[in-house]
Structure 1
Amino acid sequence: MLNRRQTLLGIGTFAGLASTLPAAAAQGPLKVVATTGMIADAARQIGGAEVEVVALMGAGVDPHAYRQTRSDIAAMTRADLVLWHGLYLEAQMEDFFHALARKRKVVAVAEATPKDLLRRHDDYADKYDPHVWMSPRMWTYVVAEVARALTQARPEAAGIFDTNLTRHLGELDRLSAYGQQIVSDVPQDNRVLVTAHDAFGYFGRDYGFEVLGLQGISTQSEAGLNRIGTLVDILVARQIGAVFVETSVADRSMRALIEGAGAKGHDVVIGGELFSDAMGADGTYEATYIGMLDHNFTTIAGALGADVPVGGMDGKLGAGH
């Protein structure tokens, strides 16, 4: 883990940094604003009691279309640290963040992901697929960048952040292993994931699934009649029996897909609702990154033919914290 953490950080361990710094002074928590729930969860996991984190986008909110509100602007201008995703995820807010960076510490945490690991997309010219949280392996780079940003903002707590980073990286390893184990029983012919938009490419790459999105990488792209017709033909020809809706995307186009297949004599069901661009409701297990991915892994594998534990990795799905 030590060598892996050093590779992620690109510097020495935080523990080494901490040894040269005084103990954390008695002060209030670091005020952190994060755009997405996934980034907010990473900040809480790493920051612990040293941070007070506010997420701008809650359950069911689509970051591709989100614009900052007056209350968001007020929160960010008062924050000690602002964390946003980058990679053109918050496309409507980019100009604001670049302007804010002249006055506040602002970090686009997903921009630290090695570019050779990122997916490009034919429909997303000159941009990368931003949905790196769909892969726990990819998410480690974002988590490490969150840790780096917190340490720069509060260097006297470096040892605390380093300890929490080590723990959380171990949790991500365990989550990734669960994903591999739970999908291993999905029959090869069933390994086709049809979703509302193309948010699951990194999942597909890591776990051996073909991913077909009704919309492109951004939900701002249109799900045209031609695309619906093409996917209907694929569903029928390959006898795909389940498609998936997303909590942050309206399901009307997916319903049209199901109706189109039905008109051609092929029954398709909704295999479940997945968390794509937002996590679950506040106060639930699914409102954590671990819970979000646990839900997705378990839902996908179960709907496509694998035996899955009812409560997921640790029996927590559907049971809050």
Structure 2
Amino acid sequence: MIKKILFFSLIFIFSISCVNSNKTKKGDKLYVVTTTTMITDLVKNIGGDVIEVKGLMGSGVDPHLYKASEGDVSKLTNADVVFYSGLHLEGKLVDVFEKMGRNTNTVALAEVLDKRGLIGSEYFASNYDPHIWFNIKYWKEITIYLTEKLSELDPKNSLLFEKNSKAYLDKLDILENKIIQTIATLPKDKRILITAHDAFNYFGKQYGFEVIGLQGLSTATEAGVQDVQNLAKLIIEKQVKAIFIESSVPKRTIEALQEAVKAEGFDVKIGGTLYSDALGNAETNEGNYIGMFQYNVNTIVKALK
């Protein structure tokens, strides 16, 4: 009797281990979980229909403050691989990743970048500004790295991944050429970008803008009265025509800045809403990385002219 119980116990344990090793694949598809909307969009472009992708964050979601739900934890632990941005962008998810330990394969895509080219930041535990997707050259590096990782995990589809990657890199080349042409129409002395928080420093460094964020690099920080007053003086001094709100950050701080400028007798308009830490709605053109980037540049240049 004892031998029978032991035998069936071993069969049960073996069955559970097989289920865990296969995770929640549907058929032979690789089950991938992603964090930000930018990464979800990239993985879908490279993986296509041969992988299953579940994104944790949606449009307008702030990754700095995002907390994993019980459902998210289940998705993460059942994934074959989790792709996240890294550099402490998903600050509150880091603990979840650490608790998962080695049971789930997690890949921080920004880790492939040479840190000598990154912008330092005292706001993050990584000591670097994590908003790397606003330098298209960095996004190309991440695309190549992601392609390699998917090919390692799913070798039978590696040729498809490489084909999709090449096509996407070509699209990024076209995007960069377009935005450089658009920015060239804006006089250099007008290239001052003021937003809710410092998500656009890589954009400014690469494409020649002075960038100032009211709340600093992380939306977890708060702008004080003195911050607003100092920035209002700068706007008046440099005759900045427009300031911008962000889709994933409450607009109250930028509206307070606009009022502070008006109180000093100068009129600055809100030039529009920029997509910073999240893409737009999936059914819109801004719901993908390329459309979002083109939209942001068009909005900035039009408002500052």
Structure 1 and Structure 2 fold alike (TM over 0.5): yes
Provide the secondary structure at the position in 2 that maps to 1:197.
coil
Query: Which deviates more, 145-154 or 261-270?
Result: 145-154
- How much does 1:148 deviate? 1.9
Q: Deviations over 1:269-316 (max 9, x none)?
A: 0111000000001222211111111111111111111xxxxxxxxxxx
Counterpart position of 2:72: 72
Counterpart position of 2:220: 220
Instruction: Percent identity, please.
Output: 42
Provide the secondary structure at the position in 2 that maps to 1:211.
strand
- CA separation of 1:101/1:169 partners in 2, compared to 1, >3 Å: closer, same or farther? farther
- CA separation of 1:219/1:272 partners in 2, compared to 1, >3 Å: closer, same or farther? same
Letter aligned with residue 38 of structure 1: M
CA distance in 2, matches of 1:101, 1:147: 24
Counterpart position of 1:279: 279
- CA separation of 1:237/1:125 partners in 2, compared to 1, >3 Å: closer, same or farther? farther
Counterpart position of 2:171: 171
Counterpart position of 1:150: 150
Counterpart position of 2:200: 200
- How much does 1:100 deviate? 2.0
CA distance in 2, matches of 1:297, 1:57: 24
2:271·2:300 contact (CA, 8 Å) conserved in 1? yes
Structure 1's unaligned 5+ residue stretches are 1-25, 306-321
- How much does 1:75 deviate? 1.1
- CA separation of 1:109/1:126 partners in 2, compared to 1, >3 Å: closer, same or farther? closer
CA distance in 1, matches of 2:72, 2:121: 31
Q: Deviations over 1:235-286 (max 9, x none)?
A: 1111111000000000001000000000000001011100000000122221
Counterpart position of 1:42: 42
1:36·1:58 contact (CA, 8 Å) conserved in 2? yes
- CA separation of 1:61/1:231 partners in 2, compared to 1, >3 Å: closer, same or farther? same
In the TM superposition, 1:74-89 aligns within 5 A as: 74-89=74-89
Structure whose CA Rg is larger: 2
So what's the TM-score if we normalise by structure 2? Answer: 0.89
Provide the secondary structure at the position in 2 that maps to 1:215.
coil
- How much does 1:136 deviate? 1.1
Paired residue total: 280
Please identify which structure carries the higher helix content: 2
Counterpart position of 1:52: 52
- How much does 1:114 deviate? 1.2
Counterpart position of 1:128: 128
Counterpart position of 1:261: 261
CA distance in 2, matches of 1:82, 1:177: 32
- How much does 1:145 deviate? 2.0
